[in-house]
A and B are shown apart, each in its own frame.
Chain A
Amino acid sequence: MTHPGLPEYWVYLIWGFMLLLSLAMILKVNFSTFSILNKPDVPFASFKSAAPLVHLLSKSRWLLFVLKVIAVAFFLLVIYAGLMGTPIPERNIATVLTWNIWWAGLILSIFFLGSAWCAICPWDALASWHVKPKLWLKNRVLKLNNSLELTPPKWMRSVWPALIMFIGLTWLELGYGITTSPYATALLSLLMVVMAVVFMAMYKNKAFCHYVCPVGRTIGFYSQLAPVELRPINNQVCLDCKTLECFNGSTDVDACPTQLVMGRLTQNTYCTSCGNCVQSCPDENVAWRLRAPSNEAIKSARPHWDEAWFMLVLLTLTSFHGITMMEFWEDSLRSFAQVIGDSGQLLTSFSLGLVVSMVVPVSIYAIVVEASRRMSGSTVTYKKAFTSLVFVTLPLAFAYHLAHNLNHMIRESVGASQLFVNPLGTNVSYSGVADELLIKNSMLLSENTIFVLQALLMIFGFWIAIKVLQHRSTVLFAKAGLNVLPVMVFIIAVNGFHLWMLMQPMVMRIGALCVVPSTL
């Protein structure tokens, strides 16, 4: 079964907006005069109705613990159902909860809550409970430490391991077809927990979250576009602070798991929203606040080589997800397999397709950066231009990822509540045409609402990408005019390609009557 694509009139509207905005940028219109992106950050404390709730959420360790317990309970249910339940993917809670609800909903949650998921992540919770368990007694906290607390080797202290894991996860998801196998989904869940435990038992702080976890890093990079952040209330208090409880921890509260110093924090990338800094700060100087979305990606995020590659690959793999869910993908792959003599699972053909899908956009990006650099006559190094301009890819990837996942979330989660009654899918039959009708008639949002949201997201992504380009090219090349045309064409081409994919009928991930593209 396939989902209908975005109607043409929406696409024309988005294209019109894209071209107008591009023209405005070339004509050097200053967006900042009418931009909401320049609004100052607002602490949640200033919202009288929301302040107590936000304060409770960030200060109460019991509430966080309860949320972690709930997340772990669902996670264990996924493992149990995956191993013991029906192999019919849409009838087993393991596959539906993991791929339709969690994986799709996770990206949506970043749009509102930033990296909040990391705070209740069951992989990390289980690892912490095993390796560094804590007991809150009446007057003291009893801490056990089963970690060797080694310093991670230098090669690991980057996002390269997470990048490799991310590519591996995509391969398993789309190539091996793990989304259609409850058993394989359970195995992957177990593997992630084992890895989290092993890394925590070996290395200090949370090396797994910081360097290895592909989900955490994806959340981290996308969180640069989130409208919330944990930051100091008064920067001067942080500047005067000599004890750095946020970094070192206190007697009751652990240190920042990813070794961030609140006074110097400018980007969300490595913040896991655990709230340790809020709890440990003796001056109560750390709080959640609302900010203009994407300000971080536009201005404050600093470019690094490994992070630039992660962002680029994030874009390519997000697009690749879309490609594999097109109806033509399976036939093309089969034809390609016949040419190279591949057979069986067609994993060689798939792997080559994956590599090509990464190499082509990255090469084009590399060329357009060089072209812009030359056109500007700037003396800035290629590496600096490459890492600085790469932030344009982030909103493009995020917007498409959200628009794409809306389909999975809204259309394929219909009837998911029934799975909580029978999570193992015991004695259930296959989905049928009746399920198809049910999906069409019981969606949480109407089809038109989905289209509107998708269109708005694509406009949002493009707008932010142009803002990023405008700001960063001005800083980099001292001016932003015709010299950024190559990168702008790249942005238009990527967003245009994403739009085209949204127009096409999209194959369901695991839903009823599924014909899954990844199952070759």
Chain B
Amino acid sequence: MIFKNKKAFKLFSFVFILFFSGQALAHHVLGRPAYSLNEDSNTPPSMQVETQIGSYFVTYMVYPAFPKPGERGRVNVYASRIDNGDSYDGEMSFKVKNDVMFGDENEEFLGSQQIDDGVYRQGFEFKDNGAYIITANFEADGEPYTIDFPLQVGEGSGMRPVLIALAVIVFMLISVNVIQRRRLMRDKIRSLRDGSSEDESTTL
């Protein structure tokens, strides 16, 4: 075996997975939005991500930045080649899903759009508050491109982190109590044992 100890093998595996998982995700980007407003205008701000993905430079905007339920919004996507600046002019499709770690993502198709004046525009309207991910997909040079964009609609509605924090604290306190009781028992047994051995030695 090349690796004489398990630690080295584990380290190599970790680095290998890390490296190649990065390669596999090269055409799938989850961008963090920048909340900005053109200072020359008095329109509500938009959320924006600029990203390099494969051979393309993509700008992705959601307007308004924080839509409310029932409010109509729009996604604008600009994609141009990094090497020569040419715009991508094929079809682009949009999907939306719930931004959840566990549970039902409930993915829905928003629509497919053709380029219009160098931009792909996709309208949306959400009925409920929540955290969503809008995904834009396109294919160029035989390769698929996927861009995810997190979107908060309305106010937050998640006290789950508080419950998790409370669970950790309660678990910690219970564990400490259990260990303390065991310590106490051990000390009692030890003192009893010491006491009895002292008695024996006195008898002898």
Which residues of A are interface residues toward B (Cβ below 8 A)?
A: 1, 79, 82-89, 130-131, 146-148, 176-177, 180, 182-183, 186-187, 190-191, 193-194, 197-198, 201-202, 334, 337-338, 341-345, 424-426, 429-430, 432-433, 513-516, 519-520
| Contact present for A433 and B173 (CB under 8 Å) | no
Name the distance in Å between B64's Cβ and chain A's nearest Cβ.
7
List residues of B (1-60) whose CB comes within 8 Å of A's CBs: 29-37, 39, 42, 44-45, 49-53
Residues on A with beta carbons closer than 8 Å to the beta carbon of B185: none
Which of A131, A182, A191 meets B156, CB within 8 Å? A182
Name the distance in Å between A512's Cβ and chain B's nearest Cβ.
9
| Contact present for B31 and A344 (CB under 8 Å) | yes
Q: Complex: how many Å from CA A1 to CA B180?
A: 56
Residues on B with beta carbons closer than 8 Å to the beta carbon of A1: 39
Say if the beta carbon of B165 comes within 8 Å of chain A. yes
Nearest to A86 among chain B residues (CB) is B155
Nearest to A190 among chain B residues (CB) is B165
| Contact present for B155 and A426 (CB under 8 Å) | yes
Name the distance in Å between B197's Cβ and chain A's nearest Cβ.
28
Say if the beta carbon of B177 comes within 8 Å of chain A. yes
Main secondary structure of the interface of B (DSSP, over half): mixed
Q: Complex: how many Å from CA A342 to CA B50?
A: 11
| Contact present for B44 and A194 (CB under 8 Å) | no
List residues of B (136-183) whose CB comes within 8 Å of A's CBs: 152, 155-159, 161-162, 165, 168-169, 172-173, 176-177, 179-180
Residues on A with beta carbons closer than 8 Å to the beta carbon of B162: 79, 83, 190
| Contact present for A89 and B42 (CB under 8 Å) | no
Q: Complex: how many Å from CA A458 to CA B91?
A: 57
- Known contacts A87-B152, A183-B152; 10 additional CB pairs below 8 A are A83-B158, A86-B155, A88-B66, A146-B180, A183-B156, A191-B165, A343-B52, A425-B155, A516-B35, A519-B36
Name the distance in Å between B79's Cβ and chain A's nearest Cβ.
13
Say if the beta carbon of B92 comes within 8 Å of chain A. no
Q: Complex: how many Å from CA A197 to CA B174?
A: 13
Which of A86, A89, A187, A432 meets B35, CB within 8 Å? A89
| Contact present for A83 and B161 (CB under 8 Å) | yes
A82-B42 contact given A194-B168, A513-B37, CB 8 Å threshold: no
| Contact present for B165 and A424 (CB under 8 Å) | no
| Contact present for B34 and A344 (CB under 8 Å) | no
Residues on A with beta carbons closer than 8 Å to the beta carbon of B173: 130-131, 146, 197, 201
A520-B169 contact given A83-B161, A84-B159, CB 8 Å threshold: no
| Contact present for A148 and B180 (CB under 8 Å) | yes
| Contact present for A430 and B176 (CB under 8 Å) | no
| Contact present for A344 and B157 (CB under 8 Å) | no
Residues on B with beta carbons closer than 8 Å to the beta carbon of A82: 156
Residues on B with beta carbons closer than 8 Å to the beta carbon of A515: 34, 36-37, 39
The 7 closest A-B pairs by CB, nearest first: A343-B52, A519-B34, A345-B32, A343-B51, A87-B152, A344-B29, A190-B165
Which residues of B are interface residues toward A (Cβ below 8 A)?
A: 29-37, 39, 42, 44-45, 49-53, 64-66, 152, 155-159, 161-162, 165, 168-169, 172-173, 176-177, 179-180
| Contact present for B32 and A83 (CB under 8 Å) | no
Among A337, A343, A432, A515: residue with most chain B CB under 10 A: A343
Q: Complex: how many Å from CA A131 to CA B156?
A: 31
| Contact present for B37 and A87 (CB under 8 Å) | no
| Contact present for B30 and A344 (CB under 8 Å) | yes
Which of B36, B52, B159 meets A83, CB within 8 Å? B159
A430-B156 contact given A198-B172, A201-B172, A344-B30, CB 8 Å threshold: no
Which of B35, B44, B172 meets A519, CB within 8 Å? B35
Residues on B with beta carbons closer than 8 Å to the beta carbon of A85: 155-156
Question: What are 13 contact pairs spanning A and B, CB under 8 A?
Answer: A87-B152, A87-B156, A88-B65, A88-B66, A89-B35, A131-B176, A190-B161, A197-B172, A334-B50, A338-B52, A429-B44, A513-B37, A516-B36
Residues on A with beta carbons closer than 8 Å to the beta carbon of B156: 82-87, 182-183
Among B32, B39, B51, B159: residue with most chain A CB under 10 A: B32
| Contact present for B52 and A342 (CB under 8 Å) | yes
How many A-B residue pairs have C-beta atoms within 8 angstroms? Tell me: 115
A343-B53 contact given A79-B162, A186-B161, A515-B37, CB 8 Å threshold: yes
Q: Complex: how many Å from CA A197 to CA B169?
A: 7
| Contact present for A513 and B155 (CB under 8 Å) | no
Nearest to A514 among chain B residues (CB) is B35
Name the distance in Å between A329's Cβ and chain B's nearest Cβ.
13
Residues on B with beta carbons closer than 8 Å to the beta carbon of A345: 30-32
| Contact present for A337 and B52 (CB under 8 Å) | yes
Which of B35, B39, B155 meets A84, CB within 8 Å? B155
Name the distance in Å between A499's Cβ and chain B's nearest Cβ.
26
A148-B179 contact given A343-B51, A344-B51, A516-B34, CB 8 Å threshold: yes
Q: Complex: how many Å from CA A87 to CA B33?
A: 12
Name the distance in Å between A434's Cβ and chain B's nearest Cβ.
8
Q: Complex: how many Å from CA A213 to CA B32?
A: 28
| Contact present for A341 and B66 (CB under 8 Å) | no
Q: Complex: how many Å from CA A191 to CA B37?
A: 31
Q: Complex: how many Å from CA A243 to CA B45?
A: 64
Residues on B with beta carbons closer than 8 Å to the beta carbon of A130: 169, 173
Q: Complex: how many Å from CA A197 to CA B53?
A: 42
| Contact present for B155 and A519 (CB under 8 Å) | no
Nearest to A515 among chain B residues (CB) is B36
Q: Complex: how many Å from CA A201 to CA B37?
A: 46
| Contact present for B176 and A146 (CB under 8 Å) | yes
Residues on A with beta carbons closer than 8 Å to the beta carbon of B161: 83, 186-187, 190
Nearest to A127 among chain B residues (CB) is B169
| Contact present for B36 and A424 (CB under 8 Å) | no
| Contact present for B172 and A84 (CB under 8 Å) | no
Name the distance in Å between B61's Cβ and chain A's nearest Cβ.
14
Residues on B with beta carbons closer than 8 Å to the beta carbon of A193: 165, 169
Residues on A with beta carbons closer than 8 Å to the beta carbon of B29: 343-344
Name the distance in Å between B51's Cβ and chain A's nearest Cβ.
4
Residues on A with beta carbons closer than 8 Å to the beta carbon of B180: 146, 148
A520-B155 contact given A86-B66, A148-B179, A432-B42, CB 8 Å threshold: no
| Contact present for A87 and B42 (CB under 8 Å) | no
Q: Complex: how many Å from CA A440 to CA B42?
A: 17
Q: Complex: how many Å from CA A341 to CA B54?
A: 9
Q: Complex: how many Å from CA A87 to CA B47?
A: 12
Residues on A with beta carbons closer than 8 Å to the beta carbon of B177: 146
| Contact present for A344 and B32 (CB under 8 Å) | yes
| Contact present for A520 and B34 (CB under 8 Å) | yes
Which of A148, A344, A426 meets B176, CB within 8 Å? A148
